[in-house]
Homo-oligomer: A and B are copies of this chain.
Amino acid sequence: MANINDIAQRAGVSVATVSRVLNGNPYVSEAKRAAVQRVIEELDYTPNRMAVDLIRKETRNIGVIMPYNNNQAFDQLLHGVLNRSVEQEYSVTVLPTKYDPAKELRCLHMLKNKQLDGIILGSRSNDWDAIVPYSKYGTIVACEYTDHHEIGCAYVDRYASYLDVFQLLRDKGHSRIAFTTARGEVSNSTRLTLQAYQQIVGELPPEYHVQDCYSMEDGIRAARQLLHLNPRPSVIYANGDEVGAGIYRYAQSIGLELPGDLAIIGQENQPVGIALNLATVDHHLVSIGEQAFDLLIGKSKTKIEVPYELIIRPSI
């Protein structure tokens, strides 16, 4: 590929002038501008982005950290980010971590070595203390609430959401309430779910909590564990509609009817939940992704709370 020197030479001008026409600088005579333009077309030239980035110290490329396992929730988040990035001419790099703290750190490192202008933290396996220092190299935006004033965040009040759900279930007359979560107590949502449970429902029978649930398969496994318990839970709060769908399937397969024999409520208002008419709480992940992106390119450290929404359907 031709470079800026080739263009300059062939157009009979200096590289500075070529650079000027490339960047729309007005201080170029019409004659030279035309000459340069012609040669550019002739040689099918385009500026090398790496060189430009190197000198500009900006890439217009951001990263989104997520575990990327079979969890549609993160796809929703990503869609939100993409919605906005497309308008703003930013490109976004997906950074899957599989919840591996070391890998997560390596992703954050891309801020330090100037590969990325900023990072949206869709998931997190490290302590904030390990993460925050990286904000010195580029903007970091989280999708969960955090106090650190170096980190902007677009979040939903998970604790309030969990409280609401458990209260709703109590109000519906449920006392044997079980639930599933993704990771164990290393995860913020799990911890908050447990807290909310304790506050509204009371002591948690350990067997009423099934971990490592991400997909429909996991939901089936969870149901297999939960539905043969004695006493059997009267309702299961699933951490995602896909997991809820798995529970639903298994419940049906052993002849349980909804919501009489078993109630189910999921999360994120995903297609499978809509199809099955499962109650759910929508944490508006797409919106979170969009707002996180806006914070990021605005280099804002604001904390934006996004409302959640209980969607009541006959499964409950």
Contacts and interface: CB of A to CB of B under 8 A. Distances in A.
Interface stretch (A75-83, A198-206, A301-309): A75-83
A242 B51 CA distance: 44
A194 interface: no
A78 B94 contact: yes
Contacts of A49: 110, 113-115
What's the number of copies of this chain in the assembled complex? Answer: 2
Interface string A96-110: 101000010000011
Contact of A276 (B79, B96, B270, B276): B276
A130 interface: no
The range of chain A's interface size is 35 or more
Contacts of A249: 275
Interface stretch (A35-43, A85-93, A163-171, A172-180): A85-93
A239 to B, nearest CB: 15
Contact of A245 (B63, B137, B271): B271
A143 interface: no
B50 A114 contact: yes
A310 to B, nearest CB: 20
B86 A79 contact: no
9 contacts: A48-B113, A50-B59, A72-B75, A91-B93, A94-B94, A248-B275, A249-B275, A271-B271, A272-B275
A49 B137 CA distance: 13
A224 interface: no
A16 interface: no
A246 to B, nearest CB: 8
A135 interface: no
A68 B61 contact: no
Contacts of A156: none
A212 interface: no
Nearest to A92: B94
Contacts of A110: 49, 91
A142 to B, nearest CB: 20
A248 B276 CA distance: 11
A275 B274 contact: no
Closest 6 CB pairs of A and B: A49-B113, A50-B54, A272-B272, A245-B275, A49-B115, A271-B272
A51 to B, nearest CB: 6
A261 interface: no
Nearest to A52: B113
Contact of A46 (B54, B68, B113): B113
A53 interface: yes
Contacts of A51: 54
Contacts of A79: 68
A95 interface: yes
A299 interface: no
